[in-house]
Amino acid sequence: MFEFIATYAPQLIIAGIKYTIPLALISFVIAVVIAAIVAVLRSYVPHATDLGKFGWQVLKFILWFYVWIFRSTPMLVQLFVVFYGLPKLGISWLSPSGWIAAIWVLSLNTGAYASEAIRAAISSIPDTQREAAAALGMTDRQIFMRIILPQATRISIPTLANSFISLVKDTSLASVVTIVEMFYLSQQLAAVNFEPLKMYLLVAAIYALFVTILSIPQRYIQRWADRFVKDQR
């Protein structure tokens, strides 16, 4: 068993560093940007004319539909639709390669879930804080940037960290679009050495190792964010 690990573990770790981790990091950064924009727009209450409010309602419906469709369908199906299905309709620019297709799907899928976490964090801020800030003469933008966003960010950190951990594991699905990440490589090696059980247990252990290492910064980020609450007290 030790010889087996010494032979195949380095190959899987290299594949993880070269493909799995970059894919997860790039997708997560894009997902957080998408999630923040969607959450803010869906949480915003417009002070506008009836026509302006109707436009906001249409936009919010589109955003709701985006969140609904990506939360209601399996990521594996989404990957197949983007990589194999859309080019049949002539929409090949969305998936010129497996990498681009995987980043699109991982980002949009994670962004849909993360947007709900951020929106819940925004909604958890008491209305009394908004009212007090407005009484001091702060604009809606100032209230959001100085009062709402800092608190919502701190509240959403644990959920976003969990989303990132899930995303690292979900990169294994990218094997269906021919990205040679850890799981894809383990499948190829299992087909050669005829040891599927050992191979998949080994790749599972390496995923667990990567997730454990990537989880460490979460505690320090949470402590850094929590110190602002302590300072306020």
* pLDDT, tens only, 135-159: 888 887 788 888 888 888 888 888 8
Q: What is the pLDDT of residues 161-217, one digit of tens each?
A: 899 999 999 999 988 888 888 998 999 999 998 889 999 999 999 999 999 998 888
What sign does the CA torsion over 124, 126, 129, 132 have?
positive
Q: What is the pLDDT of residues 94-122, one digit of tens each?
A: 777 889 999 999 999 999 999 999 999 98
CA dist 102 → 4, 53, 92, 167 (Å): 31, 36, 14, 11
Of 47-56, 73-82, 134-143, 154-163, the range with the lowest mean pLDDT is 47-56
Query: pTM (2 decimals)?
Result: 0.87
Q: Is the pLDDT of residue 61 over 60?
A: yes
Q: Which domains does the chain have, with CATH numbers?
A: 1-231 (1.10.3720.10)
Q: Is the pLDDT of residue 48 over 70?
A: no
- What is the rounded average pLDDT of the residues 22-50? 86
